[in-house]
Chain A
Amino acid sequence: MKTPISGFYRNPVKFRMPTAENLVPIRLDIEIEGQRYKDAFTWNPSDPDSEVVVFAKRTVKDLKLPPAFVTQIAQSIQSQLLEFRSYEGQDMYAGEKIVPIKLDLRVNHTLVKDQFLWDLNNFESDPEEFARIFCKDMGIEDPEVGPAIAFAIREQLYEIAIQSVVSARESRMSKKGRRGAEYTPISKGGAVAVDLVKLFGPKSSVVRKRKEWDVYEPIVDLLSNEEVDALEAKEERNFR
């Protein structure tokens, strides 16, 4: 019982962020002479590269960091942008692909846990808008939470996009090598696309069973100062 798939979905999609805006998640974690700078933001890959240096200088100046950071920041951004561009123009995936996105993050005092499904073919999707509604519905007041959620979604989408480029390439090569043999590379990591026929087939209901509601329910916790300190100390230990 397969519904026919029209041309749009059969055509492979060229690599890009599977969202409305093609913004690349950039994560910075730089330590120089005991000073550590951590940051996460999105970057438009079609912006001119000169912007990167301008941005780095500006950041260093605003945060009053030592000047040695400027080159480090610029290099880090640049290399991450290069990695993104290296995938551009390649086929990403063909057909429908819906992946589960899991959130488990802490921003200052707020702890967020959630999971939901994301359609990689829906180029109307907007992680930032999603995060904004999430914060509004859950009554989160900390303005840093929204961007952090959006960034976490983008990071996962980015990773899935890279994986699918790799697996698309592998499957092409394996087809050349072993003609006729059916071989589908198992993608690494947890982000395996959901079984569409099982979830959306004519026999199943898209309304989840009552007992599953809790699994997909977003959890937001506000931590006390002590808990935050303990967590930060733990993270610090893990880092070293």
Chain B
Amino acid sequence: MEVTKDPNSNPGRFEGSDSELELYTIPSSSRWFAWDEIHETERGAFKEFFDASSISRTPKIYKEYRDFIINKYREEPSRRLTFTEVRKSLVGDVTFLHKAFLFLENWGLINYGAPGADVEKEEEEELCNVRLEEGTPNGIRVAATPNSLKPMLLPRVAKSGGNASGASLKLPPLASYSDIYGDLIRQKDGKCRFCDAKCSSGHYRCTQDNFIICANCFKSGNYGEKRSAEDFVLSESSENSGKHDTVWTEGEILLLLESVLKHGDDWELVAQSIQTKTKLDCISKLIELPFGELMFGRTHRNVNINGANGIVNNAKQVQSSSSDNQEISKSKDQPPELTNENEQNGDSVKESPSKRHRVAPLSDSSSSLMNQVGLISNVVDPHITAAAADAAVSALCDENLCPREIFDFEEDSARALEGEGLEMERSSLSEIPLPLRVRAATATALGAAAARAKLLADQEVREIEHLVATIIEAQIDKLLHKVKHFDDLELLMEKEHAEMENLKDSILTERIDVLRRTFRSGTTRWKDYSFVKS
């Protein structure tokens, strides 16, 4: 059995988010399939769609057919999808639709392993030559309903990084999804406003909002039960800490930090001194705190460089989440250039949510600096991270005259960070002095963030171009309409003009007539003139 990652999937996904992604089984022979492109196999099978010979046969229309059929099947993969079911929802020649349907079925993209098939294969055979594909196609493209934009953005801001990247990939371009629940949710307006038109991803926000209502919402749906259940659990775990008894006031946090300093890792004592919290709460809160892990290291190894300062800073970080990098770097006596950069970094982190809402989780207060470094470096390609780390290390060497050997470890660890995760790094870094570690990591993060920002900027530029094109098109449309309007006006004017001419003529003849009659009746001439003059 072969498990491959979807090419679209974010390399920075954490292990935890894997359970969220849907897996679909397709035959290994259909590995060519990708949501966002049309493969040669498809081009070969449907030549008429790619020679631009017809308006009802274009690649776009083929792709719409294909995506719809596959999505329709995946709404309920255990059930066999029939052609007659599909064709009622698609506009087009039924003969061709059947051809496309058969094509997809033959390749196992639909109805693969569904019961009732006349191609029922043996279980073993299926097991040995299947591959699992994540059902995470090309992002959110369905945003047709106007109010769907807001709810889609909300969950991502609130969630932690791995989940958010999962969420952005979660939505296939399902026209059917949005349509199916459109009516249903409108009825429940006010209650369930978060899972507006798209319930396929609704479960995230549902749990945030009020999960009871949205559980109903899922129950009424006839697909995705399993998925919604998973998400439900996930969201709850992340939300419970903020919702229930485990809300930490600032005073409690300070108390916690002090008692940890005093008692070290004797959690019984720590919990006693805090009183309002259990032992477990204390541990989890400390881990959640920024630099919680580093404090562990200090208390364990007594490598106390500037312990009290650091802890005060930590307490501050709890209040000011996005500026924590700054605080730390100042306390570590950074050279001014780096601090400046850090400020920029903090700004970019702050700005980023309004941009694309993808880096938003980075500014989450609950993650430590190391976590943030990991996150930032994971949103870009590994080689970019490596380059950034390299640059950071050499810069540090230049200004500090530090032996380069120290950082040879670090470079390894940077790679380890890309591969394995944070634990590896921490263990391998234990020999290097803390400030250097922090600065190298910060610089790495900066580099990675810069690379990421570049990508985002590019995307933004593309989007703007697209919008401008749309605007221009609309303007042209408007102009055309105006021209047409003017043409109409001109026509009207001409008609009126002709009418006027006619009227003139008739008045003239009338006048001549009147004149003639006055002549005949023998009225004097001067009276006539006076008539004309008056």
Contacts and interface: CB of A to CB of B under 8 A. Distances in A.
Interface stretch (A26-34, A182-190, A209-217): A209-217
Given A5-B53, A206-B64, A210-B180, A119 B87 contact: no
Nearest to B87: A116
Nearest to A6: B53
Given A200-B56, A216-B87, A205 B175 contact: yes
B52 A130 contact: no
Interface string A115-138: 011110110111001100110111
B94 A116 contact: yes
Contacts of A116: 87, 94
A84 B55 CA distance: 30
A97 to B, nearest CB: 10
Contacts, number: 106
Contact of B88 (A96, A202, A208): A208
A209 B99 contact: no
A4 B176 contact: no
Interface stretch (B78-86, B157-165, B404-412, B460-468): B78-86
Interface in A2-26: 2-6, 8-9
Contacts of A66: none
Contacts of B175: 205, 207
Given A117-B92, A119-B95, A98 B84 contact: no
Most buried by B among A117, A136, A216: A117
Nearest to B86: A137
B1 interface: no
Interface string B498-526: 00000000000000000000000000000
B135 interface: no
Given A137-B84, A137-B85, A96 B56 contact: yes
Given A206-B64, A210-B182, A210-B183, A199 B98 contact: no
B421 to A, nearest CB: 42
A129 B84 CA distance: 13
A194 B179 CA distance: 24
Nearest to B82: A137
A69 to B, nearest CB: 37
Contacts of B180: 210
A124 B97 CA distance: 12
Given A122-B93, A197-B55, 17 more contacts: A4-B52, A98-B93, A116-B87, A118-B94, A119-B56, A119-B95, A126-B95, A130-B94, A136-B82, A137-B84, A199-B56, A199-B91, A200-B56, A200-B92, A206-B92, A207-B89, A216-B88
